[in-house]
Amino acid sequence: MEDPMDERLAEQIAYYRVRAPEYDAWANREGDFDRGDRNEAWHEEKRRLAVRLREFWPTGNVLEIAGGTGQWTEQLLRYTPLVTVLDAAPEALEENRKRTARRTEMIRYVQGDVFTWEPPERFDVVFFSYWLSHVPPELFAGFWERVGCCLKPGGRVFLIDNLPSDEAEELDPETPTGDDMSVLRLAPDGNSYRVWKVLRSPEELHKVLFDLGWDLEAFATGDYFLWAQGTRSRLGTGSRVGAGGGSRGAEHEHHARGECDQRDRPTSAQAPSSTCEPHP
């Protein structure tokens, strides 16, 4: 029998595969997500996110984790032509490709599972939007180890996510599953899928990441979104791993010690050692 964690991760990917063709409606407040008079506040907060990203200036070699249909890939391409988009859903990557193909030929689309993907190089910036809340709590610390392993020394992170707020909950109500870590989502194929949705306030996010050795400032845009930016500052104290991660859990233990598999990496100046030590 398949590991329960693997099964649930597969279910989450399956949901986004089915949803890819209509995903942009959520971001653009169209169709089922059209909220009339309240759309403008949503769009205004999205514009604030774009301003923050501009101030961050994500230049150099950028990795976008779980890039999806390209809502933010498009924005990243304003600052750099060197973007690698990783996503597990080929349908989402296809939408992304359609959206971004005319902008640059240097974008790389990679279909892969972020919990097992081995980066072939290190990046100046790692970016992800509306992804962190989908990371299972058991894999959270390991995920951040992976992010650390994807970055060059001094590399930076920028992330965007949903904010826990009454206004956001009222605008897009979720169907509870009985635990406060996941929700049930009805997909266009008529099936319901369980996905993780772990919302954190900017303060909670800052604290949990600080414990893992990251120095990220996090802020709300208003009612709907948060953004955070920063770097890895040191080896964290909170990177012990809980049980239940299955094969990825074992891997997570490995990465929680600050080691990255460098087998496929070039022995260039970008990846000088045989293990990926957390950057001071």
Ligand X SMILES: C[S@@+](CC[C@H](N)C(=O)[O-])C[C@H]1O[C@@H](n2cnc3c(N)ncnc32)[C@H](O)[C@@H]1O
Residue closest to ligand X (Cβ): 68
Q: In whole angstroms, how close is the CB of 235 to ligand X at the nearest point?
A: 25
Residue 115 vs 214, nearer CB to ligand X? 115
Residue 70 vs 230, nearer CB to ligand X? 70
Binding site for ligand X (CB under 6 A): 9, 12-13, 16, 27, 66-69, 71-72, 86-89, 92, 113-115, 129-131, 134
Residue 128 vs 214, nearer CB to ligand X? 128
Q: In whole angstroms, how close is the CB of 116 to ligand X at the nearest point?
A: 8
Q: In whole angstroms, how close is the CB of 47 to ligand X at the nearest point?
A: 15
Residue 134 vs 265, nearer CB to ligand X? 134
Q: In whole angstroms, how close is the CB of 204 to ligand X at the nearest point?
A: 19
Residue 154 vs 186, nearer CB to ligand X? 186
Q: In whole angstroms, how close is the CB of 89 to ligand X at the nearest point?
A: 3
State the Cα–Cα distance between residues 261 and 251, nearest whole angstrom: 10
